[in-house]
Amino acid sequence: PLVARLDLILLGTIGLGAIAWYARSKFFGTSSDKTTSTSSSATINSNTTSKPAPSKPERNFVKVMQQQGRRCIIFYGSQTGTAEDYASRLAKECSQKYGVSAMVADIELYDLSYMDTLPDDHVVFFIMATYGEGEPTDNAVDFWELLTNDAPEFSASDSTDTPLENVRYIVFGLGNKTYEHYNSVGRTVDKHMQQFGAQRIGERGEGDDDGSLEEDFLTWQETMWPAFCQALGVDENSAQSGPRQATFGVEELVTFDEALVYHGEIAERLNSQQAKVVYDAKRPYNAPIVTREVFQDGGDRHCLHVDIDISGTNLTYQTGDHVAVWPTNNDVEVHRLASVLGLSEKLDTVVLVKAVDPAASKQYPFPAPTTYRAIFRHYIDVCAIPSRQALTSLVDYAPTEESKATLLKLASDKDEYRHAVSDAVRNLGEVLQYVMGDTSASATTSASSFASVPFDLIVECVSRLQPRYYSISSSSKEHPTLISATAVTLEYKPDASLERTVYGVNTNYLWQIHSKVNQVDDGRSYPLYSLDGPRGALLAPDASHVKIPIHVRRSQFKLPRNSSVPVIMVGPGTGVAPFRGFVRERALQKKDGKSVGPTTLFFGCRHSQKDFLYADEWPALFDTLGEGSQMITAFSRETDQKVYVQHRLQEHGQQMWDYLQQGGYIYVCGDAKNMARDVQHTFVSFAQIYGGKDEDAANAYIKQLRTSGRYQEDVW
Ligand code: FAD
């Protein structure tokens, strides 16, 4: 190995002050702490007894770059962490391969109006995800408003038509071709940067999450780096050669205050003076839940209705919002990866993981100090498919010539990678087992084979575990402090001949909570999860009640303000989730004496007796809604020819068209790939058949409905 496993062993005492993940300045204990370093890649400053008043972070990124001697800044607009991962990978490549000092920056933390003061020998990267209906990610909203403004105000007062003519930039967009506004954020950023005179280096990159985002990212780099080198006058020899530079320092703590160790908590602990807690995406709430099964189709799918109690918190939601659930990894995959990395015996060892260069990557990738077990179980996505780049970085650590050759082949040969890694849905632990020729379910023969991999490389290669989102299936008007979600378990065999089963991380976690608390056994075996949560915070010792970490995300998917207009909803399968909330809300409005327009719900599933979600609730709700409102069902496995919601929609074309003429709203929820597209085509065809429009005019009509908020989608 180029770098010894574990860069540092901290022998001192971490202790007296509160160790808070986010409170960087308070991090290390007393001046009497002793530190022994086995590597020069990370040094610990143990002399920070004084607590300087926290200064306001500098928002002028050009100033920060100059203070830190950076030539590149890599901004990311990220919702689920992928763009952020890509930004970190590019920063590393910049400095390690080309010797150009780069910093990674959350675009929300800086004021981009200073862009016009960027010297022309500097470069700004934009790694921008497109979200929802062509929108920027939450953290990119300010930048988006600046750039798309008709008269953007950059910092220099003598603004011209081309205020950014000194700026050189690189752009890569992350999108999904299933959506209409494919990569619109990356494209719009590129367009406006050029409009303001900035010069792009290389071609704009675009990645398709519906195809192979990772391959698109790698392919784009093949031409981007040469253009980058030419523009900056650098080459591969510009970097100082030598051992791999660690991005993170990893210290195993020998002495520590157990009370300060994170065992899987997502947010930093609060001190007692912080009375008011604000729960959000950075600080999920451990909410008590109650689950019930809304169908069991006799096969391998279970669908759970989850009631989440948010009473007594400042959390609120609106009908149509999303609830995010922070999952736990199952222990089979935790142990698999730990075993192959030789960490099985050390799972409870306390470690401190910290960026070597805090400006180049996130200072603390997860709460610290923590344990290997908590990292594997709660903080990193051990079930994710590793990228080819990640596999490349592990080649040097393969224990035998044969395993090295196999790993190199997977890393360098796209087809081989697709066959054995991405199509086979193998996670990192499984890939490392595979290259050792070990295909057993547990990691026995391959145990410790990759023990020489420095742990910081694992932190670098494996992305953070992300929350899973669910369309809220309750109405906030009916139940303001109770959020419901409707989740179907995911389980599949990526390749029947391999006889491997892949289990969805979060849905199987929820299913196991349900089985344990309600003592349900379906006679099948699942990978086991630890349900206790950090320090037993989630499961009561007698398993009588359970909590899960959640937060709420606002969505644009909203009923019309005027309840008297017609509403058309199309939601097959779990796509019906938000419509349970919508229908309940409209029934409540009706009960309250409001004028409620015709409410039509198209629902589809396989079988009326097996997977018909909330079958027992609909009749009473539609009774309340009264004449003109109806639920129209499509059961695909009950007839010789499969009938889907689109077909049922076609049968009611005239009626739906009439509703649209009355100002009706269309809502579509569920599968983004096929269903949502087919439903859109069906509505376009209504505009042709019943509205007498030609194809272009019909498409424009539907587009206009979308723009005015009368055609809304909540698809995934
Ligand atoms: P994961 O471990 O995350 O696995 C899911 C991944 O597995 C998928 O991304 C896919 O790439 C892969 N995969 C799935 N099937 C196969 C296959 N056959 N072959 C190869 N790869 C495969 N879900 C609901 O049940 N109800 C909802 O109301 C709901 N609402 C959502 C709303 C939004 C806005 C979004 C973004 C998603 C919603 N989802 C909903 C989906 C939900 O967030 C999770 O993705 C889902 O529950 C699976 O999570 P998991 O952790 O169990 O699976």
Q: What is the CATH number of the domain that holds 549?
A: 2.40.30.10
pLDDT band at 125 (very low <50, low <70, confident <90, very high): very high
Distance 486 CA to ligand 1 centre (A): 12
Dist. CA 617–CA 614, nearest whole Å: 5
CB atoms inside a 10 Å sphere around CB 101: 17
Q: Which amino acid is it at 181?
A: H
Judged by average pLDDT, the poorest of 307-311, 431-435, 442-446, 566-570 is 442-446
Q: Which of 380, 471, 529, 605 to mutate to test the pocket of ligand 1 (most atoms within 8 A of CB)?
A: 471
Strand partners, 258: none
Q: Average pLDDT over the chain, rounded to whole?
A: 89
pLDDT at residue 24, rounded to an integer: 35
Provide the residue count of the chain.
716
Q: Is the dihedral of CA 391, 395, 397, 402 positive or negative?
A: positive
Distance 290 CA to ligand 1 centre (A): 21
Dist. CA 704–CA 711, nearest whole Å: 9
Ligand 1 nearest atom to the CA of residue 470, by list position? 30
Residue corresponding to tokens 């752009």: 171
- Which residue's alpha carbon is at the smallest distance from atom 6 of ligand 1? 504
Q: Which residues line ligand 1 (CB under 6 A)?
A: 322, 327, 383, 425, 468-471, 486-488, 490, 492, 494, 504-507, 574, 577, 716
The 3-state DSSP class for residue 698 equals helix
Distance 468 CA to ligand 1 centre (A): 8
Dist. CA 398–CA 286, nearest whole Å: 41
Q: 180-183 contacts: CB < 8 A, separation 24 or more?
A: 180/133, 180/134, 181/130, 181/133, 181/134, 182/130, 182/206, 182/208, 183/130, 183/207, 183/208
pLDDT digits (tens, 9 = 90+) for 423-457: 999 999 999 999 999 876 655 678 999 999 999 99
Asked whether 3 and 243 are in contact (CB, 8 A), the reply is yes
26, part of any domain: no
Q: Are residues 74 and 128 in the same domain?
A: yes
The percentage of residues in the chain with a pLDDT greater than 70, rounded to a whole number, is: 89
Ligand 1 nearest atom to the CA of residue 510, by list position? 52
Dist. CA 506–CA 534, nearest whole Å: 17
Going by DSSP bridges, is the β-strand pair 199-200/468-471 parallel, antiparallel, or unpaired? unpaired
Q: Are residues 573 and 541 in the same domain?
A: no
Distance 235 CA to ligand 1 centre (A): 42
Dist. CA 163–CA 524, nearest whole Å: 64
pLDDT at residue 531 greater than cutoff 60: yes
400, part of any domain: no
699: exposed, middle or buried (C-beta count within 10 Å: 0-12, 13-18, 19+)? middle
pLDDT band at 331 (very low <50, low <70, confident <90, very high): very high
pLDDT at residue 44 greater than cutoff 50: no
Distance 4 CA to ligand 1 centre (A): 38
pLDDT band at 210 (very low <50, low <70, confident <90, very high): confident
Cis check: omega of the bond before 369, within 30 degrees of 0: yes
Ligand 1 nearest atom to the CA of residue 473, by list position? 28
Ligand 1 nearest atom to the CA of residue 489, by list position? 52
Going by DSSP bridges, is the β-strand pair 123-131/135-136 parallel, antiparallel, or unpaired? antiparallel
pLDDT band at 347 (very low <50, low <70, confident <90, very high): very high
pLDDT at residue 64 greater than cutoff 90: yes
pLDDT digits (tens, 9 = 90+) for 5-35: 333 333 333 333 334 443 433 332 223 333 3
pLDDT at residue 39, rounded to an integer: 33
Q: What domain range includes position 203?
A: 61-238
Distance 325 CA to ligand 1 centre (A): 12
Q: Are residues 114 and 229 in the same domain?
A: yes
Distance 383 CA to ligand 1 centre (A): 13
Dist. CA 548–CA 239, nearest whole Å: 46
Maximum pairwise Cα distance, the chain: 83
Kindly state the DSSP code that residue 262 receives in the 8-state scheme: B
pLDDT band at 358 (very low <50, low <70, confident <90, very high): confident
374, part of any domain: no
Q: Which of 301, 506, 674 to mutate to test the pocket of ligand 1 (most atoms within 8 A of CB)?
A: 506
Give the domain-ending residue among 524, 553, 582: 553
Q: Which of 380, 490, 554, 667 to mutate to test the pocket of ligand 1 (most atoms within 8 A of CB)?
A: 490
Give the domain-ending residue among 508, 526, 553: 553
Q: Are residues 226 and 103 in the same domain?
A: yes
Strand partners, 302: 296
Nearest CA to 407 out of 384, 390, 425, 422 is that of: 390
Q: Are residues 697 and 662 in the same domain?
A: yes
Ligand 1 nearest atom to the CA of residue 487, by list position? 25
437, part of any domain: no
Judged by average pLDDT, the poorest of 155-159, 553-557, 638-642 is 155-159
The DSSP code sequence of 623-675 is HHH-TT-EEEEEETTSSSS---HHHHHHHTHHHHHHHHHTT-EEEEEE-TTTH
Ligand 1 nearest atom to the CA of residue 509, by list position? 52
pLDDT at residue 640, rounded to an integer: 87
Give the CATH number, domain containing residue 228: 3.40.50.360
Distance 489 CA to ligand 1 centre (A): 9
Q: Are residues 571 and 696 in the same domain?
A: yes
Q: Which of 301, 468, 491 to mutate to test the pocket of ligand 1 (most atoms within 8 A of CB)?
A: 468
pLDDT at residue 36, rounded to an integer: 30
Dist. CA 252–CA 455, nearest whole Å: 11
Mean pLDDT for the stretch of residues 393-411: 97
Q: Are residues 524 and 609 in the same domain?
A: no
Q: Which amino acid is it at 670?
A: G
- Which residue's alpha carbon is at the smallest distance from atom 40 of ligand 1? 470
- Which residue's alpha carbon is at the smallest distance from atom 52 of ligand 1? 504
Q: Are residues 106 and 230 in the same domain?
A: yes
Q: Are residues 527 and 575 in the same domain?
A: no
Asked whether 612 and 295 are in contact (CB, 8 A), the reply is yes
Q: Are residues 592 and 547 in the same domain?
A: no
Distance 299 CA to ligand 1 centre (A): 18
pLDDT band at 161 (very low <50, low <70, confident <90, very high): confident
Asked whether 250 and 7 are in contact (CB, 8 A), the reply is yes
Judged by average pLDDT, the poorest of 92-101, 250-259, 583-592 is 92-101
194, part of any domain: yes
Q: 186-193 contacts: CB < 8 A, separation 24 or more?
A: 186/126, 186/128, 186/130, 188/144, 188/147, 188/148, 189/126, 189/128, 189/147, 192/147, 192/148, 193/126, 193/147, 193/164, 193/167, 193/169
Nearest CA to 251 out of 342, 345, 349, 353 is that of: 353
Mean pLDDT for the stretch of residues 540-553: 93
More confident residue, 7 or 233: 233
- Which residue's alpha carbon is at the smallest distance from atom 18 of ligand 1? 492
Dist. CA 340–CA 459, nearest whole Å: 15
Nearest CA to 467 out of 259, 322, 667, 600 is that of: 322
pLDDT band at 363 (very low <50, low <70, confident <90, very high): confident
Ligand 1 nearest atom to the CA of residue 469, by list position? 43
- Which residue's alpha carbon is at the smallest distance from atom 27 of ligand 1? 470
pLDDT band at 346 (very low <50, low <70, confident <90, very high): very high
Dist. CA 581–CA 475, nearest whole Å: 4
Ligand 1 nearest atom to the CA of residue 578, by list position? 28
Dist. CA 376–CA 393, nearest whole Å: 20
Q: Could you tell me the two tokens for 661?
A: 């003429």
Nearest CA to 380 out of 428, 440, 441 is that of: 428
The 3-state DSSP class for residue 550 equals strand
Mean pLDDT for the stretch of residues 315-338: 97
pLDDT digits (tens, 9 = 90+) for 277-286: 889 888 999 9
- Which residue's alpha carbon is at the smallest distance from atom 39 of ligand 1? 470
Asked whether 246 and 42 are in contact (CB, 8 A), the reply is yes
Nearest CA to 90 out of 103, 79, 80, 77 is that of: 103
Q: Are residues 217 and 107 in the same domain?
A: yes
Ligand 1 nearest atom to the CA of residue 493, by list position? 18
Q: Could you tell me the two tokens for 460?
A: 């670098």
Q: Are residues 523 and 643 in the same domain?
A: no
619: exposed, middle or buried (C-beta count within 10 Å: 0-12, 13-18, 19+)? exposed
Distance 582 CA to ligand 1 centre (A): 22
Q: What are phi and psi of 217, to 5 degrees?
A: -65, -45
Nearest CA to 4 out of 37, 38, 36 is that of: 38
pLDDT at residue 206, rounded to an integer: 97
Torsional class of 536: left (φ above 0), alpha (ψ -120 to 50), beta (otherwise): left
For helices 184-195 and 141-148, angle between their N-to-C axes, nearest 10 degrees: 40
More confident residue, 42 or 493: 493
Judged by average pLDDT, the poorest of 81-85, 428-432, 590-594, 664-668 is 81-85
pLDDT band at 47 (very low <50, low <70, confident <90, very high): very low
- Inter-CA distances, 358 with 88, 365, 691, Å: 12, 10, 60
Q: What are phi and psi of 262, to 5 degrees?
A: -90, 125
Q: Is the dihedral of CA 372, 533, 326, 514 positive or negative?
A: positive
- Which residue's alpha carbon is at the smallest distance from atom 31 of ligand 1? 470
- Which residue's alpha carbon is at the smallest distance from atom 44 of ligand 1? 468
Distance 525 CA to ligand 1 centre (A): 21
Torsional class of 334: left (φ above 0), alpha (ψ -120 to 50), beta (otherwise): alpha
Give this complex's ipTM: 0.99
Give the domain-ending residue among 553, 582, 607: 553
Mean pLDDT for the stretch of residues 330-343: 97
- Residues annotated as catalytic (active site), given as ranges: 471, 669, 714, 716
For helices 577-591 and 618-625, angle between their N-to-C axes, nearest 10 degrees: 40
pLDDT at residue 96, rounded to an integer: 84
Dist. CA 303–CA 308, nearest whole Å: 16
Q: What are phi and psi of 82, to 5 degrees?
A: -70, -45
- For the chain, the domain total comes to 3
- Which residue's alpha carbon is at the smallest distance from atom 30 of ligand 1? 470
249, part of any domain: no
pLDDT at residue 20, rounded to an integer: 42
Q: Which of 419, 470, 492, 611 to mutate to test the pocket of ligand 1 (most atoms within 8 A of CB)?
A: 470
- Which residue's alpha carbon is at the smallest distance from atom 36 of ligand 1? 716
Give the CATH number, domain containing residue 621: 3.40.50.80
Q: Is the dihedral of CA 18, 21, 22, 28 positive or negative?
A: positive
- Which residue's alpha carbon is at the smallest distance from atom 5 of ligand 1? 504
